[in-house]
Amino acid sequence: MVPELVQEEFEVYIAKDETRLRHALKKFSGSIVFASINEGMKENAWEEWLRLVMVDAEITALDIGIIASRADENLRQKYLGQPRIRCGYTVLKADAAAAAGQLAELLTSVNAKGRRKYIRALTDKETNITVNFPMHGTFINGAIKDISVAGFSCSFAEDPDLAKNKLFEDIQIRLQSQILKSEGIVFGARMDANEKIYVILFTRQISPDVQTRIRKYIQSSLQNRMDSVLKGNSRN
């Protein structure tokens, strides 16, 4: 069975170059941007950035929220009166853990999670992202296509004909330099062109440490992809 994972998961990115972000938003309809107005640019520069975003017809279905490090009722009233700023004005607590909790609550309140229960990273173009299954006294090696804390999909050079619902108790997952061990059940398989893709779900025996390390890998992988998008915008 899939383990009960109570931690909320959101697809979140950090962007430090506001100009590149504005261009990248044209590719990602339905985004939510939280502008940290006490960081980086001065307030008048933030106002100009927000104005450009709001009037750009190529940026669609965008919602904006304001986060600040200190309370300022005048700023709060000014920003909340603008269109597209539908995600509030939030003063973050100084404690990092408390601030993270605030942001999680805020993301939940604006339905940022969407329909997907778990965030996954696509790994089929990554190197050293593999899996080993114990079979017949040895291990068979497969390439991981994507991974989340609920499970992963993989393929093999030669089809091992894994039976649905088969339990593997000693799966070894390589995420670049990390080797993780867990157990999983074959949920099923599908054909992608001429390639057979197996879907494996982790059991309840997956350890919190493995979950944390998978989440950190996913976060890093997604941020790296977004950084590539932002760098591409600077060249174009």
CATH, range 121-217: 2.40.10.220
Calpha distance 151→141 (Å, rounded): 17
Instruction: Give the closest residue to 52 by CA, choosing from 91, 41, 111.
Output: 41
CATH, range 18-117: 3.40.50
Per-residue model confidence (pLDDT) at position 14: 92
Round the average pLDDT of the chain to a whole number and report it. 88
The domain locations on the chain are 18-117, 121-217
- The model carries a pTM of 0.83
The shares of helix, strand and coil residues in the chain, as percent rounded to the nearest 5, are: 30, 30, 40
Q: Which two tokens stand for residue 177?
A: 């330099």
Burial of 228 from C-beta contacts in 10 A (0-12 / 13-18 / 19+): exposed
- Low-confidence spans in the chain with pLDDT less than 50: 1-6, 234-236
Instruction: Give the closest residue to 120 by CA, choosing from 144, 104, 99, 137.
Output: 144
Q: What percent of the chain has pLDDT over 90?
A: 54
Per-residue model confidence (pLDDT) at position 6: 42
Residue 169 sits at φ, ψ, to 5 deg, of -95, -10
Per-residue model confidence (pLDDT) at position 7: 61
CB 144 within 8 A of CB 173: yes
